[in-house]
Structure 1
């Protein structure tokens, strides 16, 4: 069985271009153009002239495709007009049938590709790649930003992996979250201190959000804190190692003087707040640590435990690029604050503002005479 692959081309088209939209929309194969020209003209040389190609090129391509497909395409009889073989005729029939059946879908695909690639040719449009911890506000930011000509390529992963991606040059921005002013001995410091460096990295404020216990609807076990979770031995749904929420949980357990192994943790770890909420909604667990907006979206119970900050971080060299400046401007706009504040548990705080790394994450010590980062 032969396989089929799809191809498209990019070309400049001004307003005076008279090519019909339908013709431009159809996916074309160069072999079909050769066969159609031979069928219409009755000779290789005339087909070559019609296509503005050399006789040698057309003849060579037809022979090459015969070898590739394992069938003859042209009746090669000296002194006779060139004709398609039965197989060549069936290929032309298959082409016509495909174009007739798929024309609307092909036109929609072409239009979608054209809109997407238009961003690359628009000097006022910008694209930013963002690796970030799972967050419910970021997809809304992506939609909101697209209307302003800023296109966010968001990849969700753990907070630690997001910052590593930034340091390795795989993205322009990384998103991670922490409690306010975490201490030097915290798990947060252990996770992020070696990944971030004052003078090299810059924090851009994004939002605050509420993290807490996500429970079944109505909180049937009446859980109010992590101590209750341990006391009742409620089935605790864990997040994956390396996620910001897993780091936060370790700090909250330490603050409550609870050993991690005291939790009745499930063996299966969830990669996102949404997956954790689904596990609880389906009865695979009783409780887990997650954000309020995700609990509200699934009509689950929620007990707030901590107000945390979601940070965006970039390299200092990227701070004043047009794309990053466009994002900072958008984050400071009242229209975005309305979108953000409408999400349960979220609030705009210093959104779009460049913040001091060693003030937000006070793990480094400097002499007072040294300029703050």
Structure 2
């Protein structure tokens, strides 16, 4: 069984191409061009002239493809017109069938690729790579920013992993969330202190959002606090280690003088708010910690516990790049802020403003902050 691989090329559009020529060029393979030329011209030399190639090149390529495919392609009889073998004819038949069946889908794919690559050639367009904690506002930001020429390449992961990606140069921005003004003894401080360094990193204000208990519709177990969850031994679904919500849960449990072992933890951990909500909606679990917008979107119960801050962070050296400046400007536009504020539990906060770590996350001193290698 031989595998099929797709390739595409980039180049200037030839406005003199006819519609038929454009369609014919949607899916090309160099071997098919050689076989078609030989079949039409009746000789290797004539096929080479038709393709504006040397006889040696065409002959060599045909021999190479015969070795590659394990079948003869041309009937090589001296003094007679070159003809395709039965296998060569079948390859040409497969080519015609492919073009006839897939032409509409290929045209859609080609047009989509052209639109996507147009961004690379547009001097007014910008692309930003963002690794971020799972969030309901960021996909909407990506959608609305694209209409303004700002394209966000968002990769969702845990907050800790997002900041690590930033420090390793895999993204320009990282998104993470914390309680407002977390103390220097909090789990939040322990999770992020060694990853972020005042003077090296800068925070760009984004939003606040509400986290709390996501329950089954109507909150049938009447869960209003983590103490209620422990008391009733409701099945509690956890987020994955390294997520900002897992760090937040540790802080909320400590504040309530509880521990993770006090919860009736479901054995499977969920990677996102959406997956956590689905586990509750399906009846596998009773409750979990998540954001309000996800609960409301699925008609689930929600009990607010804390309003937290969702931060965007970048290296100080990236603040003045055109892409980062475009994002900061977009975040401050009224149209975007109205979209964000319409999401349940979300509010704009210092959107687009540059802030120092020591002001927003004041557990650092410059003596304590560790240098990032």
Q: Return the TM-score normalized by structure 1.
A: 0.96
Q: Within 2, Cα distance between the matches of 1:80 and 1:124?
A: 60
Equivalent pair of 1:25/1:106 in contact (CA under 8 Å): no
Equivalent pair of 1:22/1:107 in contact (CA under 8 Å): no
Q: Which runs of 5+ in 2 are unaligned?
A: 368-373
Question: What does 1:130-141 align with in structure 2 at a 5 Å threshold?
Answer: 130-141=130-141
Q: 1:328 to 1:35 in 2, by over 3 A?
A: same
Q: Within 1, Cα distance between the matches of 2:232 and 2:143?
A: 42
Instruction: Give per-residue Cα distances to partners, 1:48-78, cap 9 Å, x unaligned.
Output: 1111100000000001111111111111111
1:255 matched residue in structure 2: 255
> 1:284, CA displacement in angstroms?
0.9
Instruction: Give per-residue Cα distances to partners, 1:338-360, cap 9 Å, x unaligned.
Output: 11011110011111110121011
> 1:23, CA displacement in angstroms?
2.7
Number of aligned residue pairs: give it: 366
1:370 matched residue in structure 2: none
- For the residue of structure 2 that corresponds to 1:13, the secondary structure is coil
Q: Aligned pair 1:305/2:275, yes or no?
A: no
Equivalent pair of 2:178/2:188 in contact (CA under 8 Å): yes
1:71 matched residue in structure 2: 71
Equivalent pair of 2:292/2:345 in contact (CA under 8 Å): yes
1:371 matched residue in structure 2: none
1:62 matched residue in structure 2: 62
> 1:18, CA displacement in angstroms?
2.6
Question: What does 1:269-308 align with in structure 2 at a 5 Å threshold?
Answer: 269-308=269-308
Instruction: Give per-residue Cα distances to partners, 1:116-141, cap 9 Å, x unaligned.
Output: 11111111111111000000000011
Shifted more, 358-367 versus 96-105: the winner is 358-367
> 1:266, CA displacement in angstroms?
0.9
Equivalent pair of 2:23/2:103 in contact (CA under 8 Å): no
1:239 matched residue in structure 2: 239
- For the residue of structure 1 that corresponds to 2:266, the secondary structure is strand
Q: Within 2, Cα distance between the matches of 1:224 and 1:25?
A: 63
Question: What does 1:7-156 align with in structure 2 at a 5 Å threshold?
Answer: 7-13=7-13, 16-20=15-19, 22-23=22-23, 26-156=26-156
2:370 matched residue in structure 1: none
1:187 matched residue in structure 2: 187
Q: Within 1, Cα distance between the matches of 2:292 and 2:317?
A: 35
Q: Within 2, Cα distance between the matches of 1:339 and 1:47?
A: 61
> 1:272, CA displacement in angstroms?
0.5
2:177 matched residue in structure 1: 177
Instruction: Give per-residue Cα distances to partners, 1:309-353, cap 9 Å, x unaligned.
Output: 000000000011000001111110011011101111001111111
> 1:24, CA displacement in angstroms?
5.8
Instruction: Give per-residue Cα distances to partners, 1:105-125, cap 9 Å, x unaligned.
Output: 011111111111111111111
Q: Within 2, Cα distance between the matches of 1:23 and 1:55?
A: 28
Question: What does 1:217-236 align with in structure 2 at a 5 Å threshold?
Answer: 217-236=217-236
Q: Within 2, Cα distance between the matches of 1:364 and 1:4?
A: 56
> 1:252, CA displacement in angstroms?
0.5
Q: Within 1, Cα distance between the matches of 2:193 and 2:18?
A: 59
> 1:366, CA displacement in angstroms?
5.5
1:360 matched residue in structure 2: 360
2:371 matched residue in structure 1: none
Equivalent pair of 2:198/2:366 in contact (CA under 8 Å): no
Equivalent pair of 1:25/1:110 in contact (CA under 8 Å): no
Equivalent pair of 1:132/1:154 in contact (CA under 8 Å): yes
Instruction: Give per-residue Cα distances to partners, 1:236-265, cap 9 Å, x unaligned.
Output: 111111100000000011111112211111
Q: Within 1, Cα distance between the matches of 2:16 and 2:360?
A: 56
Equivalent pair of 1:25/1:107 in contact (CA under 8 Å): no
Q: Within 1, Cα distance between the matches of 2:24 and 2:225?
A: 62
Q: Which runs of 5+ in 1 are unaligned?
A: 368-373
- For the residue of structure 1 that corresponds to 2:238, the secondary structure is strand
| RMSD between aligned residues | 1.2
1:202 matched residue in structure 2: 202
> 1:25, CA displacement in angstroms?
5.0
Equivalent pair of 2:23/2:107 in contact (CA under 8 Å): no
Q: Within 2, Cα distance between the matches of 1:273 and 1:4?
A: 38
